[in-house]
Chain A
Amino acid sequence: MFNPGLYFTLASKAYARNVQYRGAHLVHNIASAMFGFMYACIWIGLGRDHSLGTYGTQGMVAYIAFTQSALWVTSFITNGLGIPQSVRTGQIALDLMRPIHLFTHMMSKEWGQIAYQLVYKSIPIYLLYFFVFSLPVPGDGAAVLFTAAGLLGASYLSICINYLIGVSALWTTESSWLYWGHHALVNLLAGFFIPLEWLPGWLESFAWFTPYPYLLYVPTTLYLGNGDVFALGGTVFWCALMTLLCLLATRMMRRKVEVQGG
């Protein structure tokens, strides 16, 4: 059953729910912006004594500014899409009963959340960095298009990963462990603070076997103009694989709930 109106309603409700708190969230943006500012300062400090390769100091500042803004649409989304809470309260049995697939249901809501974070977090934070660090604008329209595609894929991947983490709550009470692990991997493997090419060789190779570089590194390098458009192929591949995993997980979950009654 495909009903675009319903998905749009779910997403816009999630968006509207957040808009009520936008005042508080804008205060929160100050803190978020400070984190990126600190990371940029570290790279500026490093750039004074060292050459920063193909990026240069200005390039690294631009890199950090973009990753720190993009985080809010590709990494820092609702933990486990809120599924662990709904397992704890028993709401999950109700959600599984609805005439809409759980995955698309949760995903629609999260797209609303992501849209909100794009408007009220990513863009204001990026604009702030843009003026504070006098960042360059991307050269051509194609770069913007590729970046947008990369970000879209990254958000979708992030939704899938969080869905899988959330669903695991049905089997373990400690799904927060997975969530922490996910964040540690974002720190190290997604290019959160260090561009992947500066990781130790073995870690860099390992990173490319995971979906993590596609969350931040790929869209960021595309934006900065030193990325490889073919990396988007990897994004598509991981999106397809993750979709399959999510559908499979939902099926297992349904069976589990039906057997145990939630």
Chain B
Amino acid sequence: MNLAKLRSWLRLYGLLVRTTIRSRMQYKFNFVVGTLLAALVQISEFLMVAIVLDRFGAIRGWSVHEIGYLFAVMTLSKTIYRTFADEVHHLEKYLVGGELDQLLTRPMPVLLALMPQKFRLMPAELLQGGFILSWALGSMMRTGQVGWTAVIATLFIILTGAVILFSIGLATATLGFWTTRIVELQNITEDAARTAAQYPLTLYPKWMSSLLLFAIPVGFVNYMPSLYLLRGEVGPWVLAVTAGVAVICIFASLRFWRYGITKYQSTGS
């Protein structure tokens, strides 16, 4: 894909973003109240853990701020992934309903035609993640646990994390070319794995933490980089490794996707 095509694709995507925002804003009241409520609901999930930490102090040496950080980085990475590529997560709908047929008649790679099918505004997640992250980072900066550079590094790992989550999502979705149903698999590779990595992986038995680092590498979204960023337990090389994992993941999953799509059997006759 050359530069001119990329630019045209970005323009097309920008158009989608603008029109989506415009149509959502038609009902401002619903938008604002819905966002606030959803953010509160999501914070309740963290609150559940925060209450326990408030009572017991720390889990295996991880403070409430550190766990809040893990939680927020995961939320923000997921938000980026799902904002731009929500339809990858919902590929099953396209496979079952045959809507993928339409996308195959577009003069561009199927994935690039799929992504602009929907731009999903996720203000509640952004609010929740942003709020918990600034609270966690702010508190840790006040106590001198981390410095300003951590903010930049955090933005970086949120992006690499989004790439990793996207890759996991894409690889899972690709399995749909064989199984058609993917919701149950996504429950394992996306929902359960992501939730697991909201807590320090040391909590889990060895087999499970290895699984979350090497098979479904959600551990690299937040946990591994935080070991260095928050706790100085490993060297700065871990950031490079994180970026490397992201690159490997996206290449592998794109290849898998390209192979999977040749197995596509359109439904209906």
Is the A/B pair a real complex?
yes
**Which chain A residues have a beta carbon within 8 Å of chain B's beta carbons?**
24-25, 27-28, 30-32, 34-35, 37-38, 41-42, 44-46, 48-50, 173-174, 177, 180-181, 183-185, 187-188, 192-194, 198-200, 203
A-B contact pairs, 23 of them (CB 8 A): A25-B184, A27-B187, A28-B183, A30-B188, A34-B192, A37-B208, A41-B199, A41-B204, A41-B205, A42-B203, A44-B203, A46-B52, A46-B56, A50-B57, A173-B30, A177-B34, A181-B37, A183-B41, A188-B44, A188-B51, A193-B48, A198-B51, A199-B51
Give A48 to B60 CA distance when docked, in angstroms. 8
B49 lies within 8 A of chain A by Cβ:
yes
Pairwise interchain contact B187-A174, C-beta atoms closer than 8 A: no
B181 lies within 8 A of chain A by Cβ:
yes
Shortest B195–chain A CB gap in Å is 6
**Which 6 A-B pairs give the minimum distances between C-beta atoms?**
A31-B187, A184-B44, A27-B184, A34-B192, A184-B41, A45-B203
Pairwise interchain contact B48-A187, C-beta atoms closer than 8 A: yes
Told that A193-B52, A194-B48 touch, could you supply 8 new A-B pairs with CB distance under 8 A? A27-B187, A28-B187, A45-B59, A45-B203, A46-B56, A49-B56, A50-B56, A194-B52
Give A50 to B55 CA distance when docked, in angstroms. 10
Give A38 to B218 CA distance when docked, in angstroms. 14
Pairwise interchain contact B41-A45, C-beta atoms closer than 8 A: no
Pairwise interchain contact B60-A49, C-beta atoms closer than 8 A: yes
Q: Which of B185, B192, B202 has the most CB of A within 10 A?
A: B192
Give A46 to B184 CA distance when docked, in angstroms. 30
The residue in chain B whose Cβ has the minimal distance to the Cβ of A172 is B30
Choice from A38, A177, A180, A200 contacting B204 with Cβ under 8 Å: A38
B38 lies within 8 A of chain A by Cβ:
yes
Q: A38-B204, A44-B203, A49-B58 are in contact. Are A177 and B37 (CB under 8 A)?
A: yes
Give A32 to B199 CA distance when docked, in angstroms. 17
Shortest B83–chain A CB gap in Å is 19
Give A188 to B188 CA distance when docked, in angstroms. 24
| Cβ–Cβ < 8 Å partners of A45 in chain B | 59-60, 200, 202-203
Pairwise interchain contact B184-A28, C-beta atoms closer than 8 A: yes
Shortest A95–chain B CB gap in Å is 27
B40 lies within 8 A of chain A by Cβ:
yes
Q: Which of B44, B47, B58, B204 has the most CB of A within 10 A?
A: B44
Pairwise interchain contact B49-A38, C-beta atoms closer than 8 A: no
Give A187 to B52 CA distance when docked, in angstroms. 13
The residue in chain B whose Cβ has the minimal distance to the Cβ of A51 is B56
Give A35 to B37 CA distance when docked, in angstroms. 24
| Cβ–Cβ < 8 Å partners of A37 in chain B | 208
| Cβ–Cβ < 8 Å partners of A193 in chain B | 48-49, 52
Give A10 to B185 CA distance when docked, in angstroms. 31
Q: Which of B185-236 contact A (CB under 8 A)?
A: 185, 187-188, 191-192, 195-196, 199-200, 202-205, 208
| Cβ–Cβ < 8 Å partners of B58 in chain A | 49
Give A32 to B192 CA distance when docked, in angstroms. 8
Pairwise interchain contact A35-B45, C-beta atoms closer than 8 A: no
The residue in chain A whose Cβ has the minimal distance to the Cβ of B61 is A49
The residue in chain B whose Cβ has the minimal distance to the Cβ of A41 is B203
Pairwise interchain contact B51-A194, C-beta atoms closer than 8 A: yes
Pairwise interchain contact A184-B199, C-beta atoms closer than 8 A: no
Pairwise interchain contact A192-B59, C-beta atoms closer than 8 A: no
Pairwise interchain contact A24-B184, C-beta atoms closer than 8 A: yes
Pairwise interchain contact A24-B41, C-beta atoms closer than 8 A: no
Shortest A117–chain B CB gap in Å is 15
| Cβ–Cβ < 8 Å partners of B60 in chain A | 45, 48-49
Pairwise interchain contact A188-B48, C-beta atoms closer than 8 A: yes
- Binary per-residue interface labels of chain B (11-49) against chain A in the complex, 1 for a CB within 8 Å, 0 otherwise: 000000000000000000010011001101100110111
Give A224 to B172 CA distance when docked, in angstroms. 39
| Cβ–Cβ < 8 Å partners of A44 in chain B | 203
